[in-house]
């Protein structure tokens, strides 16, 4: 696949998060967008005919786990190719210290190796969050932020969970969380706390009511993590963050009750509260998940009832949900055979764009709202804007060309993750990625597999 430093993308519908949908052309030179308008370029530009297609800013997935079950370097290769094929040009990776070394040591021990792996192996750009699990991590938050990692995750759930510990997800007490929030509030303008909000004590209460877990259904497992266990934890996290004067980003919000609590807390909070949901919560209800094999769609937090699915879509349309991620994890289907004992999570980065745009089209949600939610807002929240998340002169030429009238069915055999399954198998979507540019390089076009590793680490100032 030939890359060219000068491109004229001609005849497309430009989907701008700021200005709406515009019928215009785009020029790219030296990796950045140089102009929007008509009668652009000359014979030195390579013309790409985008007639009838939609030209989006490259999607940014704010919630990805590389190396969660596999070797980090292996995931850097396969999962970033998968992202590029799906029109995702940047991901933000959750670094978990226990997935890189055997002890909860300082992240300074792994930064150099992680950054090198991304620069050598990734097909797209990668920024980072750090999972905070010790007092040492808290004491080094300002140092991490100075090195370009300025978002930090806390697990309110998972306390005492050995299974979660193996995945590097360490639940910590509220005292440590408050201490971390206080440090983040002093760590610079882009520093922000990310929170996995669940109440582990409530979950354990419901888990203990299921006597025969080996024969429990997916629905029984999902019901053991009720909606209000998330909503209560969100309320507590927002209250602590407000008292610590810390902006907060609520990961993978799944329940309509949680949206109600977020609205209440936003009314009293002095600091920003941002809300993320994920593509699977917009696609499946837990009853639909129960019809699939074993634990195929087991994820934490779990799928919810249909009312929550539609409440999340309404919140997107109203601008109340800021971002959409995937919680992407690469693993094999054999690890998910049982609803209770199987591993949580599944691949999703390659299917994010087609699923979300298809859902939006069916609900008459404008495409520029999706561009705002899946690119612009992520870039703004995490200090990547205006370099990323938009189509405007001076920004990185991260662009995805989408045919919105090319229906097809999602098939695992046609995807590019190391995973041998997708929970979205045979779902019909109408949005087909035709081409993806990363910093002006055409990295994917019409089912041609990537040959170059052009991705870079992103360290935020």
Residue 181 lies in a domain: yes
Average pLDDT over residues 69-80: 97
* Residue 161 pLDDT greater than 90, yes or no: no
pLDDT digits (tens, 9 = 90+) for 366-403: 999 999 999 999 999 999 999 999 999 999 999 999 99
Look over the chain and give the mean of its residue pLDDT values, rounded to a whole number. Answer: 96
Residue 401 lies in a domain: no
Neighbours of 196 (CB within 10 A): 24
Query: In total, how many domains does the chain have?
Result: 1
CATH value at residue 317 = 3.20.20.140
* Residue 451 pLDDT greater than 80, yes or no: no
* Residue 144 pLDDT greater than 80, yes or no: yes
Residue 115 lies in a domain: yes
Can you give the residue range of the structural domain that contains 149? 58-381
pLDDT at position 3 is: 59
Residue 259 lies in a domain: yes
Rounded to whole angstroms, the Cα distance separating 274 from 299 reads 21
pTM over 0.75: yes
Neighbours of 291 (CB within 10 A): 12
pLDDT at position 1 is: 46
Residue 279 lies in a domain: yes
Residue 428 lies in a domain: no
* Residue 423 pLDDT greater than 60, yes or no: yes
Residue 209 lies in a domain: yes
Residue 83 lies in a domain: yes
Average pLDDT over residues 58-69: 98
Rounded to whole angstroms, the Cα distance separating 183 from 142 reads 7
Q: Where are the beta strands (DSSP E) in 158-219?
A: 192-196
* Residue 135 pLDDT greater than 70, yes or no: yes
- 359 close to 282: Cβ distance less than 8 angstroms: yes
Rounded to whole angstroms, the Cα distance separating 347 from 363 reads 25
């Amino acid at each position: 696949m030939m890359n060219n430093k000068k491109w004229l993308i001609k005849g497309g519908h430009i989907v701008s998060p700021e200005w709406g949908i515009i019928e215009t052309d785009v020029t790219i030179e030296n990796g950045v967008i140089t102009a929007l308008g008509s009668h652009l370029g000359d014979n030195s530009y390579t013309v790409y005919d985008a007639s009838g297609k939609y030209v989006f800013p490259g999607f940014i997935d704010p919630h990805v786990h590389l190396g969660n079950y596999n070797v980090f370097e292996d995931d850097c290769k396969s999962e970033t190719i998968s992202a590029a094929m799906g029109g995702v040009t940047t991901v933000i990776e959750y670094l978990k210290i226990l997935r890189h070394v055997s002890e909860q040591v300082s992240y300074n021990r792994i930064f150099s190796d992680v950054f090198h792996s991304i620069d050598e192996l990734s097909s797209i750009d990668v920024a980072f969050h750090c999972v905070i699990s010790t007092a040492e991590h808290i004491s080094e938050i300002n140092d991490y932020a100075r090195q370009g990692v300025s978002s930090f995750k806390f697990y309110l759930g998972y306390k005492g969970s050995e299974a979660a510990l193996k995945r590097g997800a360490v639940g910590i007490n509220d005292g440590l969380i408050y201490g971390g929030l206080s440090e983040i509030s002093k760590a610079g303008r882009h520093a922000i706390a990310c929170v996995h909000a669940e109440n582990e004590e409530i979950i354990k209460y419901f888990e203990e009511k299921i006597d025969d877990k080996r024969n429990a259904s997916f629905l029984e497992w999902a019901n053991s993590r009720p909606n209000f266990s998330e909503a209560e934890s969100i309320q507590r996290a927002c209250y602590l963050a407000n008292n610590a004067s810390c902006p907060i980003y609520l990961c993978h919000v799944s329940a309509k009750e949680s949206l109600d609590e977020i609205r209440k807390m936003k009314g009293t909070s002095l600091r920003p509260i941002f809300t993320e949901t994920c593509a699977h919560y917009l696609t499946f209800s837990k009853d639909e998940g129960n019809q699939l094999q074993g634990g195929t769609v087991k994820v934490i937090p779990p799928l919810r009832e249909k009312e929550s699915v539609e409440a999340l879509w309404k919140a997107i349309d109203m601008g109340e949900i800021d971002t959409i991620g995937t919680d992407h994890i690469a693993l094999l289907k054999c690890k998910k055979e049982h609803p209770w004992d199987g591993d949580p999570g599944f691949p999703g980065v390659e299917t994010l764009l087609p699923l979300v745009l298809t859902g939006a089209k069916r609900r008459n949600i404008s495409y520029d709202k999706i561009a705002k939610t899946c690119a612009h807002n992520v870039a703004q929240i995490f200090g990547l804007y205006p370099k990323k998340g938009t189509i405007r002169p001076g920004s990185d030429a991260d662009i995805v060309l989408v045919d919105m009238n090319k229906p097809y069915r999602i098939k695992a055999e046609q995807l590019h993750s190391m995973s041998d399954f997708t929970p979205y198998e045979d779902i019909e979507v109408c949005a087909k990625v035709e081409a993806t540019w990363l910093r002006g390089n055409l990295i994917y076009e019409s089912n041609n597999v990537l040959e170059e590793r052009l991705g870079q680490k992103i360290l935020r100032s």
